[in-house]
Structure 1
Amino acid sequence: MDITNRTVFIAGATSGIGLELARRFAAAGSAVIVGGRRTDLLDRLAAEGFATVPIDVTGQDSVDRARDTILHRHPGLDTIVTMSGVMIPEDLRDPAHFSAAEKTIDINLLGTVRVIDAFTPHLIGRGTSTIITVTSGIGFLPFPVMPTYAASKAGVHAYSEALRAQLDGTGIEVCELVPPAVATTPEQARRNPRALKLAEFATEVMDLLQADPTPQEILVKGVLMHRWAERDGTYDELVAQRSQALAMLPGRR
């Protein structure tokens, strides 16, 4: 994938991994449109030189307005990245967790589908374009503290596979980015010393994206243990290790 002359829309890029990738695409020479819900952060990024657009991926009207605005201002759009997502701890012994499950599915899975659906006709019309979905190592190796997050990302993985098959022959390549734990703030780095540094993660991602052909899955070295745990016979052991974190839930202390 040539990252030097793309027109890229990243939904959910006002902070964290999304923002870092936006900066990397821009530094490589691509035009980048940053989408997000928080107008204060969008204003800061506009001052930094990014094109911005408000978008709430849980609302079809908001997604449609964002699409119309982007395609009016950037008719050459050829790449979308579905970065929007939330991670919410849940105690499945407490039925009150259901509201968190609904929110997670609506943003992580249905939000991905809404954004893709909004832009697919345009991308097909271009003949050559890219959709980058964002899943997680947790979609392949669950972290029991966040069960619906794991389910939502496993769903996005399956959806990406089906999307790639259905769009075969249209000129659209479907690429799945699979992050491991990434420390996007100093606090996150303190809480999880094993998390990858954001800059190192982004460098590896951009290097992998530039392969020809673009890999169907962008797998940095730090996520391989998650992605291939079942194949390697380490799945049960690793899930058991990760289950120890259930003690952090308020009802388990």
Structure 2
Amino acid sequence: MKTTGNTILITGGTSGIGRALAEAFHARGNRVVITGRQQALIDTVTAEFPSMGGILLDVDDPASVTRLVEEARSRFPDLNVLIANAGISRTEDMTSDGWDASDAEAVVQTNILGVLRLTAALLPLLKRQADATIMATSSALAFVPRADFPAYCASKAFLHSWLQSLRHQLRSIPVEVLELSPPYVQTKLTGAGQLADPRAMPLDTYVAEVMRMLEAKDHPRGELLLERDNARRWAERDGTYEAVFAMLNPG
């Protein structure tokens, strides 16, 4: 993926990793379009960066995705990069008598179906562009899960597998497929505690490393994965899965 001269659509671009990527790509001279579920947040970001575009989008709603595609074709016909970043995370206690599948269903709806819907809707446009790229945000937890976030980790494992198939099917079509696999980063994904957690990687440090990897094309197998997360990536192969799982899930 080239890092300048693109027209980039970033879902979940009003906060966290999505917003940080939007700012980083904007600073490199790309035309950036962010999406989000709250117009007020979109307005806040685009007021700070007036040359950014903003489109209201709920990836859970197929009609909203259809409207987005229509607007993108009209306003941004040279769109060549999709960063499918919108996602949610929820803890689940499956030992509780009150546990049901509602949180898991919400995670699947956003993290899996949202990515599939948006990719299917925009792929015909992307296939007509030069230097086209699809990037989806997975997680290092796709490889070894945290058991208190079961559906979230499973959704990212799904994306990891699905992106491999997408990459293979598009191998003769000039659309690059990348998987962004963040570690534990200081965002509000799981709440305010994560944002302030000193154990989490600072957001600006993480995004700077992502941009470095993109510029250097340092993403073997299409995976943007930090060196320190290779222990999780290859735990099954290296025979360390049980030890890594126990480290992530003490007790």
1:65 aligns with 2:70: no
Distance 1:205 1:177 in 2: 8
Partner residue of 1:237? 243
Distance 1:189 1:233 in 2: 33
Distance 1:213 1:78 in 2: 21
8 Å CA contact 1:105–1:148 kept in 2: the answer is yes
Partner residue of 1:90? 92
Partner residue of 1:248? none
1:153 aligns with 2:159: no
Alignment of 1:1-253 (within 5 A): 1-48=1-48, 49=50, 50-94=52-96, 96-184=99-187, 187-191=193-197, 193-212=198-217, 215=220, 216-244=222-250
Give the length in aligned residue pairs.
Answer: 244
Distance 2:17 2:41 in 1: 15
Distance 2:173 2:219 in 1: 16
Specify the code of the residue in structure 2 equivalent to 1:149: Y
1:75 match: secondary structure: coil
Give the direction of change, closer, same or farther, for the CA distance of 1:137–1:213 in structure 2 (3 Å limit): closer
Task: Structure 2: state its 5+ residue gaps.
Answer: none
Task: Structure 1: state its 5+ residue gaps.
Answer: 246-253
8 Å CA contact 1:178–1:223 kept in 2: the answer is no
Distance 1:176 1:54 in 2: 24
8 Å CA contact 2:58–2:64 kept in 1: the answer is yes
Give the direction of change, closer, same or farther, for the CA distance of 1:214–1:190 in structure 2 (3 Å limit): closer
Distance 1:154 1:177 in 2: 12
Q: Deviations over 1:202-223 (max 9, x none)?
A: 0110011123486400012342
8 Å CA contact 1:37–1:56 kept in 2: the answer is yes
CA-based RMSD of the aligned residues comes to 1.7
8 Å CA contact 2:135–2:178 kept in 1: the answer is yes
2:134 match: secondary structure: strand
Q: Deviations over 1:16-63 (max 9, x none)?
A: 001000000000110100001011101111212221001100111101
TM-score if structure 2 supplies the norm length? Answer: 0.92
